[in-house]
A and B are shown apart, each in its own frame.
Chain A
């Protein structure tokens, strides 16, 4: 049922193109009826039976002329089918991609990235094939009906003998169908496992090399490939077996024609079965063999498509399956989609009340957090590892689903934090930031426009300076146009961290949320970074200098206007550094720990 709803939604996406696709392929599939008739006329004109008023040569000329016409039909079929296929598969992929991107940003994907992509690639293709297959289905069914009618009108008895094996095929295929699905599931799972292990292999190439585990990782990959090989052979051989049962029925049909023709072709009958008739029967039968195989596969094809739909819909478990086929523009031509930032919303205060966000499986997280922060202040969140610092900022920004809590921006309730906390309201630096394969400049701007209308070069320059990256960039041959590589790997660890910091600064946001800004930086760089922050803050330049930062470093703690100390998921204490050092044991421990810096 849900498969049908998905298919129906896809059909309605480009109805005219699909109609054109359908009509073209009906004609393409019907066209083989004509040569059959021409060959019958040819043999009949040789034997003198049922002449049609054309010489054999004339008939053969028609054969050639018709073949030219068929080429035109096929061209039409491709010209409608190719764009329609592309749009269908792209719609499916776009829906899945967009929906995954719209989920709370820090929520785990419904599988490993390689696995998810595998489904987006292969199962979407399978559904695309199904739609195109429907065009063939209509054409081939029409062909089957018309050819059977023709055969009946020529010799009903013999037509039945052709028809009966076809029925048997349909029954057998029906019986075997559930096994097809089982094999298909097994194959798809094996496919995913292989793609997954490859993806993982290359994501961790350095760790594998350093661990000297290349051969062992490949051995594991080989084992997974073997499993897939077994699944694929089962799937293919079984499909071939079903096809052969169809083909076998056709061969049997030809045999039956010969058996019956043994008496029907005897000369002297009132309406003898001519050699031309025989030619027509065999010619249609050959094409009908295609038909029987096709009909025999209807059920299995539909089941395979159901597997594909289920797997695609499984990527969006919280949504109705039809979401994968939801109509949306693909922007394949015409103007590109607009990138519109929400309006600037001057920050005065941000209040957090009763924020609770627990990981459903581990029960870890933060509970009942209350705090407020004011414009142009630095609020530092500190605590041990596992205290819930990252969860707190993620929950605040709507990057994790929360159980309860209320957020107020200048006193007004925020209904949808995920949509609200974006530039120019806020900018975020995650704990482990990811850069993308693009230029440094594009990574820093991420397509954003500036609320303060500064030109991009100026924003980048300022952001690089704030992030203490400007000297590094000067030494790059291509400056800000340098390609940073996959996930920023062409930069050093510290450079990537600072590039991500520059990315957050460049948004010109009212509120900066920084998760462990200086974790990958040496003390000198960290020091300069905070000095520049101070300098900008003191410059009185337009713009906000409000930040919420996770850190346990002294440089940050010393500058904080307020410090939130988290302990085991709850707020242990709030205050200035001096207050906390006198009254909060947890704070003292963090401050005195060796790692906090030598000063």
Chain B
């Protein structure tokens, strides 16, 4: 698999441009190193020729000291270029990692459903780390080493044109061969990385599910799967290693041949008296000198092979477009705070074309009113919420938000995604807790919210005593603090997040179903507060949950069975809702 050079350059340009100054300094440090490298053998040549000519010891000592000085300067240049190189490399890869992480994080949910977090960590951290030297060294070292080769060739032309030509031919042939070898091992490393990612996904997921595995006696089965993954991985790893070995060996062999041929020529010219012995030695030293750059280029090619495998995977990841249509105008839903009306207009949606989840769902919920959504599991209730938060876009129809539900209605797709999500809040029953402080968990890392406000919310939720019990207050890591929290209390924290964001529309999805009755009262109070002055959509499993609803929507297999004001429906004896109330929910919907 050959990667177009343009991909390399595009990446380099994008991430090195912002740190141009340092890149130039790095290039200078490397160039100075090269200059010193070419100068050193000249000193040795002079030394040999002077010695054989019987020069005074004092001048020889001077040459020796000069050589030592050159070497010390070269070390300094190397240290400087390491520091600059690392700094450039990490700055670039950090930026790339952040871009990639943001790209993945903003992708729609179908993207996340298809990938394990472990796999994404491997691809964002693992693959990008493999690119570190690509940024810091690769281009500059490849160019630097090519320049070193050129400098050596020119120096040899100065000695004798035949030696110059021989070495030029050799260097050109060697480089041509190397470039041919360039892509040899890429597909092999690509497969190795794919296996590594698969392994990462498996291990992370299973480590997260130990309780299930142990409680179901599935440990032997899990271990067998684990071993099967290793078994499939090993041959790829060995093959990839052998391909890299081949690249290395061919380089060394080609080099030995070139070296022998050049010395053969040198000795012939020495016999004719064209070259001094010092110059034959110079040729020998220069071949040793270009051994380093050639091995360097070989090494960089290995790096490039690894990097190429990573680049391909990174580009694949970047190429995945969020299925959400970008907003054309990026308008915000009526900038003023306050409740918004929600309108679903013949909305159809499916994850899989053969399995429609919502079919032509239409309803209009006026601003500030509460809608209770009823229906069996799988009737499409949760999907309704996901569409409203634009985790997915409907295939047909439109959803719109507006202050009055009429004239100013705006299609969600025309709105800025972030703003939509600022105005619509969702409480699910799974509460995600981050390895961060209580404050960051509640504010979602928003440092703009004052502590007093956060504290006030915690108090209002009845969690004040809990907060006071924490050693470091709001700075306590929540993972530790939550050890003393019940599921119900964790749920209250999720409410806290919403209160702090103060959205216009609130969606409560199965929010209270895991709570036991005795703890429920606390939540009740919070829900009342949450729905006050906001438009609310409550996805419920029990009739009691929709007592506070102004409107009722009953879904069945993705279709609206019934929609209307709660009181009207309750009063109409022929309605499904009245039937539900009369007979109790279960018999009717079943």
Contacts and interface: CB of A to CB of B under 8 A. Distances in A.
A165 to B, nearest CB: 11
Given A194-B125, A209-B391, A255-B68, A75 B117 contact: no
A384 interface: yes
Contacts of A194: 125
A475 B65 contact: no
A436 B209 contact: yes
A105 B105 CA distance: 31
Interface residues of B, number: 159
A566 B124 CA distance: 47
A421 B218 CA distance: 12
Contacts of A270: none
Interface string B17-46: 000000000000000000000000000100
B68 A213 contact: no
A96 B86 CA distance: 32
B206 A199 contact: no
Contacts of B213: 101, 105, 446
A83 B240 CA distance: 12
A477 B352 contact: yes
Interface in B199-217: 200-217
A232 B86 contact: yes
Contact of A486 (B116, B249, B288): B116
A375 interface: no
Interface string A255-289: 10011011101110000000100110011001000
Interface stretch (B260-268, B296-304, B395-403): B260-268
The size bracket of the interface on A is: 35 or more
Nearest to A476: B355
B311 to A, nearest CB: 19
Nearest to A506: B216
B216 A520 contact: no
A205 interface: yes
A224 B564 CA distance: 51
Given A67-B257, A74-B248, A229 B94 contact: yes
B121 A504 contact: no
Interface stretch (B148-156, B175-183, B221-229, B453-461): B221-229
Q: DSSP majority for the B interface?
A: helix
Contacts of A475: 355
B83 interface: yes
Contacts, number: 495
B61 A259 contact: yes
Given A338-B220, A486-B115, A332 B230 contact: yes
Given A117-B200, A338-B220, A205 B252 contact: no
A282 B281 CA distance: 11
B320 interface: no
A237 B584 contact: no
A189 to B, nearest CB: 14
Contact of A212 (B72, B202, B422, B484): B422
A247 interface: yes
A522 B210 contact: no
Contacts of A593: 516-518, 520
Contacts of A175: none
Contact of B215 (A43, A337, A397): A397
A427 interface: yes
A134 interface: no
B326 interface: no
Contacts of B241: 78, 81-82
B5 interface: no
A302 interface: no
Given A100-B210, A237-B79, A524 B201 contact: no
A37 interface: no
Given A206-B109, A279-B284, A486-B117, A522 B541 contact: yes
B150 to A, nearest CB: 22
Interface string B79-98: 10011001100110010011
A597 B518 contact: no
Contacts of B284: 39, 43, 279
A206 B391 contact: yes
Contacts of B382: 492-493
A520 B514 contact: yes
24 contacts: A113-B207, A202-B112, A204-B434, A209-B109, A209-B391, A210-B389, A214-B102, A225-B94, A226-B94, A228-B90, A229-B91, A255-B71, A259-B61, A361-B483, A422-B217, A434-B208, A447-B221, A492-B382, A494-B377, A522-B589, A593-B516, A595-B512, A595-B517, A598-B544
Given A64-B257, A446-B218, A519-B513, 5 more contacts: A74-B249, A117-B121, A199-B118, A266-B54, A599-B584
